[in-house]
Every structure is written in C-alpha cells, then in structure tokens.
Structure 1
Amino acid sequence: MSQRRKFIKQSLLGSAFLLPGVAASCAESKTKSGAAAGEKPLILSTWNHGIPANHDAWEKLEETGSILDAVEAGVRNTELDLENLSVGLQGLPDREGITTLDASIMTGDGSCGSVAFVRQIKHPISLARAVMEKTPHVMLVGEGARQFAIAEGFPLEEEKLSPKAQIEYDKWKVTSQYKPIINIENHDTIGMIGLDSNGKLAGSCTTSGLAYKMHGRVGDSPIIGAGLFVDDEVGAATATGLGESIIRICASFLIVELMRQGRTPQEACEEAIRRLVAKNKGIQDIQAGFLAINKEGEVGGFAVHPGFNYAKATKEGNVLIDAGSYFK
C-alpha cells in the first residue's frame, strides 16, 4: 500500500488525475476560479496532498456508497504520507520533540467526534470516528484518548520522530525560536468535505499541528465549528492555517451559517476571511484558507494570502485549484 500511495503522489501531483473508470474533461490541473456549477457527488480537500487523498476517498465512495467512509479513507492517505510533515506521526513535533495529533470527523445529521493531543496513533481520524460512534462524547484528549484507542484495539506506534522530522527538529533546536508563521511552506492540516449523489454530507480534518508548538497546544482541527462543520440542511466547511486565528471566529460554523442565510460558498468563505483579518493582529504572518460546499454541490475557496490551493474531485476528474485571497 505504501508503494501504491507513493506512486500515486509522484505520478499525479500537479496534473489532472483521472478517477477510476472516468474520463477527465479538464485539460489543466489548476484553474483560477473556485466557483463552479453544482455537482454531485463531490469531494474537496485542502492543499496538493488533497489529490491522492481525493483518489482514495473516491474509491471508497464507489466501494461502499458512504460519504462518511470516503472522507475517513481520504485523509488516512495523508496520515501515512511520509513526505508530509504537517499530518500524521511523521509530522513535525512540538518544542519538546514530541509529535501529538488532532483530528475530527462529522456528518450532516450532527454526529461528530474528535481527538486532540493524542500520541502514538497512526490514524487519529479513525480514532475520532470511534469517539463519534462508540462513546457518548464528542472529544477525547491526551492520555484519555490514548487509553480509549488501546481499548478499541488501535495499535500503538513507537514514539520516535520520522527521519525528516528529526532533521528539521535538530535544526530548530539550534536557536529554539518560536515563530508561528503559517504560509505555503508551513501549513498544518488536511481538511476534506464531501457530498454524495443523494445530498448527504460529511467532513474530516487531521493534523500534527503547528510545528514546535508548546506541549499541550491544540489548534482548530479537532474543534467542531472551527476546523470543520457539516450540516445536511445547508452545506459543509473546513479550514487550514493558523489554528488560533480560525478558532477566534468559529470559522467553519460561520461559513455554514452564512450559507444558511443565502450566501454562496464562495461568498461565505470570503466573508469569513474578512472577519479573520479583522480579528487577528500580525496578519502579515498569518495564513488561513477555507473550503465550502453547499447542498446543491456549489463550492468555494478563499485564503488570507496567495498560495492556498485545494483538490476537487467529481465524475469529471480530480484537479488542483488555486484559491483567491484577501491580499494579492
């Protein structure tokens, strides 16, 4: 499986990626506009690692017909991507040299689950789903989440930095300066939202968090309403970037509520970015990007600064789209 994932990523990043049994009509992998006519089924995910993630999500959707299964399977791909230093156990550690993970999952009927500050779990997104389906709670954190994982049969991985993360951590320790600048080179999430042909929605979000964060820090990704929010009556939204800035405006919930009031997904993402800019100091060093889908299958994407892109999968193909931004 790891070789298959490696082949997919190396062969298809940066080009239109044909979904199984489907011919792509897009000649280019990137477009300038996030706006599109409504399409179902549909899967969106943040950044270029969304291309292979969307592939696995689409395969799972075809296999099981479940949009929830799809968004879980899609981000599991990224959790295992050894080239990715912002998701999974191979991600960059906190300032103590420990990798801690956050994840959330949600369906359009309001069911949701999340884990935060969890260690040694290869697939925190699957643990978040177990919290949703097997406990009366929404969120488990730290040692409690780890104990629940053990009880549910999740194997514990060796607590050791990946080779790439170790190299980067050793460089950082030379000065140990904490500068949480989030930009295109240092983002911290894969968020995925999906809509099936019957109009059912689901979303997922998983991360290793901000590199060299204080031990115990949790960002937006596992917080329902911040990093992810889904409502079958309206649509879904997910976020990426500096978690603190996203939490301050309850960004994903805000976007869904703006769509409920009649905004398009694109308009809702742009308004949420304007509010984030207004509520955060030092905005020149803050990147955040939002994705949204409404129940009709229209999409939107927008960011604070240029550089945010996202992958969009439909029956026509799987392409990478450059989102617009508040600053040009």
Structure 2
Amino acid sequence: MKRRNFLKNSTIGTAGLITTPILASLNVDQPNKLSTEQSFDGQFPIVICTWNFTNATAKAWEVLNAGGNSLDAVEQGVMVEEADVDNQTVGKGGRPDRDGYVTLDACIMDKYGNCGAVVYLQNITHAVSVARIVMEKTPHVILAGKGAEQFAYENGFKKEDLLTEKSKAEWMEWKKTSQYKPVINIENHDTIGMLAIDQNGDISGACTTSGMAYKYGGRVGDSPIIGAGLFVDNEIGGATATGVGEEVVRTVGSFLIVELMRQGKSPQKACEEGVKRIMAKNKDRKDFQIGFIAINKKGETGSYCVHPGFSYSMFTNEGQVNQPSESYIKP
C-alpha cells in the first residue's frame, strides 16, 4: 500500500471526507525505528521521496542503478504516481477543486540549479514532464494555467480527462456540505517530493501534486514553488516538503533547510529547524501537518514533521526501506 497510516488518535477532521487506504508498512509504534537520520558514506546512488511511495522509489532506483542521472531518475520516479489512478493526490485521478476541475502543480530542479514548474495545469497527466520541458526549452521558470496546457500540447502531450469516476463521486458527496476541514495526515493530498543522488554524486529533485482536494479554483500551494516545496543545491544537498503548502511557502521551507545544511547542520537537524520555524509562526495551532525530507552531499538523509504519521521511502544499494519520521508533536 502506498498511502500512509492515518493517525488513530487524531481528533481533528471531518468523517467521510475522503477514503482512507492504509499504509500497512508504516509502523510508528516501534521507538527503535524512529531514528530518521541515515548515512551511507558516499555509497551512491540513493533516492528518497515523501511518504511510502515504494513504486516511485523503485522506478527511480532502476534508473540510477543502470547508471542513469539523477534528473531522469526523479522525473521517472514521480511519473509512476502521476499515472496511478488509484493515487487520488497526484496526476490522473487526483481529487478536483471545489468546482470539479483537477488541476496539477509540479516542479523539477537539476544539478546546475536549473528549474522549471507548472501551476494550475489541466488535462495533462505528467505535470512533472511539462515542468522539465519548461526548464529545458524556455527562458522561463513557471508556466501557469491555459498557457502551460497549450505549451504541453505544442510539445506532444495528449489531452486527457483527469477526473476519474471515483474522484468525481467523492467530490459530489463533498458538495452536499461543501465544508473544507483538512484532516491531520490526510490533508486531501499526498504530495510526492523526490530527491536523488546519482553515481556521479549529482543531486536533482522533483515535486508533483494535485493539491488540496476541493480547494478554491486557482489555488497553488508550495509544491511547484522553487525554494518552498523543493530546492536543490548540488554543492550542499536538497530538500522537499509535503503537507499544508501555505505554511511552507511562508517560511520558504526547502530553501531554508538547504541553507541550514550549508551552515553545517545535518539533514535531520535542518529538517527539525524548518518545522520549528513554522510552528513558531503558528503558536497554539495543531490543526495541520507539514513534513520535510532532506539529503546532503554525503548521502545523509533526514526528516521531520509536525504530527506523527509521516514517513519517507528510501532506496540504496542496501535495499528499499520506509523510514518513519520524528515529529514536533509527540505521540
């Protein structure tokens, strides 16, 4: 199962808002598995991604293990989730906005600091691939809405109906009350952010999402915003985020974490500081989740989140693991 284990003890949320597939492999009840910082002492390649998207890290690892570069690895890795109609938080099958439109956001960043992004993209499954072409073929960083969609068609992408019957049925049910109350660890989305280091030691990252379900039309979160949802500096490392994007944008979270690593903090300590900065601006708030993951040039990784329940998938020469994250709010 690719979705995370929802918090059993959370009292925040709206019953029946979305379906709840269970992340069977995430076990936050084992304290000995809660050390999230790992070091592989330069044993590259390595790939990590938010949540337990094992198929995504497996695909990225396939690219890396064959000698491929980190940029191809992260693109192909997250494309797996974009194409999975059973994943209602990314790509085709994603949950719509409150008007019934599935709108996608994605970005990608390479070892040179080049980056591309699309926001409010409709009718195209692989938003991350459109973002890569924005990066490689235009002088721009971000294309939005109809402009991004037309650009995709001009570059060979096919128009598809992204609203599946399952997501449509849930949206119709939601419209009976039209209440928007995100549930901790189920914020109606599962952003997939991915970071990889290839055999040459070069780092790339990608991030893609269909955003919060039933959001206001035109809403864009942190995921496609370079520096917020994703940031890579090949000299230092990379970071990516998931959760309520508005809070990540306000602290430019992923850039902050990379800069903290530049100052000498480990990926783990940098992620912890990133979450603490957010919580310092949200005193007494406990109604949202944020999760960060990070990797440095050594191949050390780390993660931290607001509430328990977040994890990240990792694939190295030692195999594939799901790593539970430590949290600001303790179980």
TM-score computed with the length of structure 2 as normaliser: 0.88
Tell me the SS of whatever aligns to 2:286.
helix
Match of 2:292 among 290, 293, 297: 290
Distance 1:148 1:280 in 2: 39
For 1:256-271, list aligned pairs within 5 A.
256-271=258-273
Shift of residue 34, structure 1, vs aligned partner: 1.1
CA distance change for structure 1 residues 242 and 15 in 2, over 3 Å: closer, same or farther?
Answer: closer
The CA distance in 2 between the partners of 1:243 and 1:311, in whole Å, is 20
8 Å contact kept, 1:227–1:246: yes
Give the Å deviation of 1:218: 0.3
Determine which of 98, 101, 125 is the counterpart of 2:101: 98
CA distance in 2, matches of 1:168, 1:68: 35
The Cα RMSD (Å) is 2.0
How far the C-alpha of 1:15 sits from its partner, in A, is 5.8
Partner residue in 1 for 2:225: 223
- Equivalent residues in 2 for 1:24-103 (5 A)? 31-38=33-40, 39-49=43-53, 51-63=54-66, 65-103=68-106
SS at 1:285 equivalent:
coil
Q: Which has the higher helix share?
A: 1
- Alignment match, 2:122: 119
Retained in 2: the 8 A contact 1:182–1:242?
no
Match of 1:24 in 2: none
- Runs in 1 of length 4+ with deviation above 4 angstroms? 13-16
Cα drift, residue 168 of structure 1: 1.2
CA distance in 2 between partners of 1:279 and 1:154 (Å) = 41
Evaluate the alpha carbon distance shift between residue 177 and residue 99 of structure 1 in structure 2; reply closer, same or farther with a 3 A threshold. same
Question: Residue 246 and residue 88 in structure 1: after superposition, are their counterparts in 2 closer, same or farther (change >3 A)?
Answer: same
Moved more, 172-181 or 254-263: 172-181
Corresponding residue for residue 157 of structure 1: 160
Q: Residue in 2 aligned with 1:170? A: 172
C-alpha separation between the residues in 2 aligned to 1:211 and 1:281? Answer: 26
Aligned pair 1:314/2:316, yes or no?
yes
CA distance in 2, matches of 1:45, 1:283: 27
Q: Is the 8 A contact 2:222 2:228 kept in 1?
A: yes
SS at match of 1:267: helix
Q: Which runs of 5+ in 1 are unaligned?
A: 7-12, 17-27
Count residues in correspondence: 304
Gaps of 5+ in 2: 3-22
Mapped to 2, the partners of 1:136 and 1:288 lie a distance apart of 32
Equivalent residue letter for 2:154? A
Following the alignment from structure 1 to structure 2, what is the Cα–Cα distance between the partners of residues 290 and 45?
A: 10
Query: TM-score if structure 1 supplies the norm length?
Result: 0.89
Using the alignment, how far apart are the partners of 1:182 and 1:139 within structure 2?
A: 30
Matched, 1:242 2:244: yes
1:212-232 Cα distance to aligned partner (Å, 9 max, x none): 000000000000000000011
Change (3 A) 1:282 1:208: farther
Report the counterpart of residue 194 of structure 1 in structure 2.
196
What amino acid does structure 2 have at the position aligned with 1:67? S
